[in-house]
Amino acid sequence: MVTLGFILVIVISLFLFMGGLLHLYGQTEHVVSSGDQLFPDIALNHMPPFISIIFIIALISALFPSADGAMTALTSSLCIDIFGLKEKDIDDHSKEKFRKKVHLIVAAAFLAMVVLFKIINDNSMIGLILKLAGFTYGPLLGLFAFGIFTNYKVKDKLVPYICIAAPVISFFIDKYQQNIFGDFQIGLELLIINGLLTFFGLWLIRRK
């Protein structure tokens, strides 16, 4: 785990360095695009044709495994954890048919999300996704940290309320952050705040 953490720090630092170089190159070439549009604009319009072809192939090869893995994971989670397909007293053919239907629904949901993001047309969609992840992933981070760093037992029935309350409080902190913090703008720190609120809430409902 620690080794993986160090490797991730090195890889992320490398990508940040490359992103900085990309921005400097864009300023030198007077590229008007910004945010998520900067990289494709430079690759397609300010590079030789063979670089553009490599970019398109690399983009497809990077996106397809990610989308396929996500859809497969969601399909498995829905079929096994939500619908309890393994426990259903039906034949294998019916199970396979049901699994394929769920997979098609998941694929349609992915397509709907892509269309929705296109309609929203946010200049930095990654930033929007990370902000949403700050609300949804925060309770998981708090639960994980509480389980790793403490030996307390909690009142199980109250845990869902804590996991709902933490993102709600984080939402209001984000909404009124100018009144609370002044000129300081909360970004990815929202994930940490959400996790800390969950951690503190779990500490409050610990068994004595």
Helix pair 125-149, 189-204: axis angle to 10 deg: 30
**Main-chain dihedrals φ then ψ at residue 206, nearest 5 degrees:** -65, 155
Enter the tokens of residue 43. 């690759």
Most confident of 39-53, 109-123, 162-176: 162-176
Question: What is the rounded distance in angstroms from the CA atom of residue 171 to the CA atom of residue 164?
Answer: 11
Q: pLDDT of 35-62, one tens digit each?
A: 777 888 888 888 888 888 888 888 788 7
The C-alpha torsion from 39 through 41 and 43 to 46, rounded to 10°, is: -130
Question: What is the rounded distance in angstroms from the CA atom of residue 138 to the CA atom of residue 55?
Answer: 34
Residue 10: band (very low, low, confident or very high) from pLDDT cuts 50, 70, 90: very high
Assess contact for 171 and 132: CB atoms under 8 A.
no
Most confident of 112-116, 127-131, 143-147: 143-147
Q: SS3 of 206, please?
A: strand
Question: What is the rounded distance in angstroms from the CA atom of residue 106 to the CA atom of residue 36?
Answer: 26
State yes or no: pLDDT of 1 exceeds 70: no
Mean pLDDT across the stretch 139-146?
90
